[in-house]
Amino acid sequence: MKYAAYSSLLLLGLLTLSIMSGVNEYFFFAGFVVLQFVVLATAWNILGGYAGYVNFGVPAFIAVGAYTAVVLFKSISAPLLVQIIGGGILAGALGLGVGLLTLKLRGIFFSIATVAVVFILETLVNNWRYVGGATGLQLTRPGDLWFFDSYVRMLFFVMAVLAVFSVTIARYVQDSFLGRGLRAVRDSEEAAECSGVPTLKIKLIACTISGALMGIAGAPMPMYLSYIEPLSTFNLSYSIYALGMPIIGGTSHWIGPVIGALLLATLQQIVTVTVSNELNVLIVGVLLVLFVVIAPEGILGLIKRWKQSSK
């Protein structure tokens, strides 16, 4: 119940922020990206952190969400909500498909297969005229702003809702039998099999949920940019961010990815604005390697250790 109270309060706070005047528009523009990474990190962690299967193909799921939104928008002028749901469903289906194909194999093969999915989908989109192909598509935002002052503010709040939604799902997965099963798989898949855990089934469920959440993170992007093109949508850098943030924050608990995403994404936005784009990737890459080597439990682990040592 505490969780429900806190998250509702948070949403209310963010809603107030979005309709307040006097807040610079750029805050919402950058804030959208930060919240998007909360969703992505949380989604990745469901399979990567809980089960130990490293998904390198994050951009494929984001892109499925984004391009589904484009198709829905272009064909039937679907409203944002429909775009998001559509994106989530299709991305979830992709997760299921990739899982069926590769979750029987060892961890690294799954990871390499996910990279393959990115490039194959990117090639398909590159050759698909309807969504703009490799050239990209310019999009005009619809005029419907609900009660917000600008489209970006509305998108910011929508992403905030999606962030809370994903974290709620992650929390549910973590505390349910699904989470226990996934942890068993992570610790020793063979032992889990022997104890009767339906490992393939729960891995598939986790993969589907993870994919679907990444899809809903990607779906608002075409409206956010008023433009879509494959090169940036399928950018492999999303993978390093989506896996770096949970590892840095801590993979064992749903709050880890949230901490990692908030910290790193905010840092990134500051760095992009003042210095450079490359430094973004460098920062996350270096921190990732550092944490993986020195503090594999992430920030959560550090906090735990510090709490224990100060007792």
Partner 1 sequence: MFSVDLIFEAVLFGILLGCFYAAVSLGLSVAFGLLDVPYVAHPALLILGSYFTYALCQTGIDPIVCGLLLMPVFYLIGIAFYRFYYETFEKRSTDTGVRGLAFFFGMAFIIEVCLILAFGVDQRTVSASYIGSSLEIGDYRLPYRMLVAFVIALSLTFVMTIYFSKTFNGRAIKAVGQDEGALRLMGANPVKIKQLAFGIATAVNALAGAMLIIVGPVEPAMDRIYIGRTFCVVVLAGLGSMSGTLVAGLVLGIAESIVMMTLGPSWAPAVSFGLLLLMLGARPQGLFGR
Partner 2 sequence: MDKMRRKVIGAGGAGLLASSLPSGMAFAQGAPVKIGMSMPLTGGLGAGGQAALIGLRLWVDDINAKGGLLGRKVELLVFDDQSNGANTPGIYTKLIDVDKVDLLIAPYGTNPTAPIIPMVKERGLLLMGNFSFQVNAKVQHDMWFNNAPWGDAKSWSEGFLEIGKRAGAKSVAIFAAEGEFQQNLANGARELIKTSGFTVAYDQNYPGNNTDFSSIIRAVRASKAEAVFVACYPNESVAIMRSVNEIGLGPQVQVFGGGMVGLGFGPVMHGLGSLLNGVLNFNSYVPGMKYPGIEDFLKRYSERALEAKVDRLGYYLPPYNYAIGQMIEQAVNATKSLDHKRLADYLRKNEMKTIVGPINFDKNGERAKPALVQAQFRNIKDNDWDQFKTPGRQIVVWPTAEKQGDVITPFDKARKAT
Nearer of residues 103 and 152 to partner 1, judged by Cβ: 103
126 binds partner 2 (CB under 8 A): yes
Unique residue bearing structure tokens 């979005």: 18
Nearer to partner 2, 200 or 279 (CB): 279
Nearest approach, Cβ of residue 266 and partner 2 (Å)? 15
Enter the tokens of residue 259: 């901490």
Name the phi and psi angles at 153, rounded to 5.
-65, -40
User: Among partner 2, partner 1, none, what binds residue 50 when CB lies within 5 to 8 Å by partner kind?
Assistant: none
Burial 198-211 (b: 16+ CB within 10 A, else e): ebeebbbbbbbbbb
d(C-alpha 258, C-alpha 38), whole Å: 5
Residue spans of beta strands (DSSP E) within 179-232: 227-228
Query: Which residues within the stretch 227-266 sit at the binding site for partner 2 (CB under 8 A)?
Result: 227, 229, 231-232, 235
Q: How many residues of this chain bind partner 1 (CB under 8 A)?
A: 44
Task: Answer yes or no: are the C-beta atoms of 298 and 246 closer than 8 Å.
Answer: yes
Binding mask 5-44 for partner 2 (x = CB under 8 A): -------------------xxx--x---------------
Min dist. Cβ of residue 290 to partner 1 (A): 9
Q: Among 56, 156, 157, 238, which residue sits at the site for partner 1 (rule: CB under 8 A)?
A: 56
Q: Which tokens belong to 227?
A: 């433009």
> Which are the contacts of 181, defined by CB distance < 8 A and separation ≥ 6?
192, 197, 198, 199, 202
Cβ atoms within 10 Å of 142's Cβ, excluding its own: 13
131 binds partner 1 (CB under 8 A): no
Site for partner 2 in 171-230 (CB under 8 A): 225-227, 229
Binding mask 262-301 for partner 1 (x = CB under 8 A): ----------------x--xx-xxx-xx--xx--x-----
Which residue's CB is nearer to partner 2, number 7 or number 232?
232
Based on the shown chain and the rule CB under 8 A, indicate whether residue 285 belongs to the binding site for partner 2.
no
CA nearest to 169, candidates 258, 56, 300, 61: 258
Determine the Cα angle at 121 with ends 119 and 123, to 5°: 70
DSSP assignment of 159-172:
HHHHHHHHHHHHHH
d(CA 231, CA 180): 38
The residue among 179, 202, 207 whose CA lies nearest residue 97 is 207
Q: Which of 273, 286, 290, 292 binds partner 2 (CB under 8 A)?
A: 273
Question: Binds 289, which of partner 1, partner 2, none (CB < 5 to 8 A, cut-off by type)?
Answer: partner 1
Asked if 257 is part of the footprint of partner 1 (rule: CB under 8 A), the reply reads: no
Q: How many CA atoms lie within 13 A of 83 on its CB side?
A: 28
Query: Rounded to the nearest whole angstrom, what is the least distance from the CB of residue 76 to partner 2 in the complex?
Result: 19
Q: Looking at beta carbons only, is 31 or 244 nearer to partner 1? A: 244
What residues line the site for partner 1 (CB under 8 A)? 48, 52, 54, 56, 101-102, 105, 107-109, 111-113, 115-117, 119-120, 122-124, 126-127, 134, 186, 236-237, 239-240, 243-244, 247, 251, 278, 281-282, 284-286, 288-289, 292-293, 296
